[in-house]
């Protein structure tokens, strides 16, 4: 049971992702990145999707 609790709390961490358009790094929630959701770069305002293999 404790493993499940720990994994749930890990999902709330922020991870750094680099934008493929401007190559700037920005922080996004781990759960969003893991789900493969579309992310918005705060620097250039472009929508992008991360490569899960690069993050994991």
Condensed to tens digits (0 to 9), the pLDDT of residues 27-46 reads: 999 989 989 999 999 999 99
- In this structure, the chain runs to a length of 56
State pLDDT tens for residues 1-20.
Answer: 445 555 555 557 999 999 99
**Element at 17 (helix H, strand E):** strand 14-18
Mean pLDDT, the chain, rounded, equals 81
């Amino acid at each position: 049971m404790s493993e499940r609790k720990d994994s749930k709390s890990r999902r709330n961490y922020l991870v750094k992702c680099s934008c493929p358009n401007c190559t700037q790094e920005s922080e996004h929630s781990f759960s969003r990145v893991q789900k493969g959701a579309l992310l918005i770069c705060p620097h250039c305002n472009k929508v992008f999707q991360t490569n899960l293999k690069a993050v994991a």
